[in-house]
Amino acid sequence: MQMTEQDMTKLNQVRLEEGWKNSLTEFLLSERMDQIRSFLKEEIQADKVIYPPSSLIFNAFNTTPLSQVKAVIIGQDPYHGPNQAHGLSFSVQKGVALPPSLRNIFHELNSDLGIAPAKHGNLTQWAEEGVLLLNSVLTVEAGQPTSHQKQGWEDFTDAVIDVLNEQREHIVFILWGAYAQRKGQRIDQNKHLVLKAAHPSPLAANRGGFFGCKAFSKTNNYLKQNGIEPIKWQLEA
């Protein structure tokens, strides 16, 4: 695509890993992305607190470059409490109490691979191992869950999934809950592995379908079968 000087300026303002930026250029220059920017600007001008901090909105992409993605765990929205969200789905910053969903994820990891639950909920090490921790919506207003839905982020993350689906092979998409599974309908299961289970939130997990899903071992088995280094799921202190 032919880019103007204004386009280049707009792209240079996006703090996004180059592989992702190059593959998402069309969306980043689209009217839909402009709408997201305008919405966030209005929210900030109205003195609303937005999570995660602006420097961490694209943290998942900057920690897991496009070329290094082995697996994707799709979440819905960032956490809306103070010091929780830092741009990785299901992850919270160190020193913050584990949310119930993450506690259940650690329980399943222990049951599946015998890995003892971590003493913190920061999943950055997973992201560095090639797990794209992708929320469908990348921002939220403090104390207002789902407040930034239907403002354009869903279209952006659909574009992300399309890039992975079309440009890469042998990625494991971990879809927990109906929301993530709807999001994953566009994935080519002839090229990638799609793992579906109930959401790890207590209400859903306790109804059955999450515990025993063995997403972690199934992911590593698939990666090994395709000559890809398995993921080290053990979190260091």
Supply the residues annotated as catalytic. 77
CA 211/CA 112 separation, integer angstroms: 9
Query: Do the Cβ atoms of 164 and 170 come closer than 8 Å?
Result: no
The SS3 of residue 178 is helix
Q: Which residues pair with 72 in a beta bridge?
A: 132, 173
What does the buried/exposed string (b/e) look like for 131-152 if buried means 16 or more CB atoms within 10 Å of the residue's CB?
bbbbbbbbbbbeeeeebbeebb
The SS3 of residue 134 is strand
Number of neighbouring beta carbons within 10 Å of residue 114: 8
State the DSSP H helix or E strand holding residue 108, giving kind and residue range, or none if neither.
helix 100-113
Query: Half-sphere exposure of residue 30, counting CA atoms within 13 Å on the CB side?
Result: 13
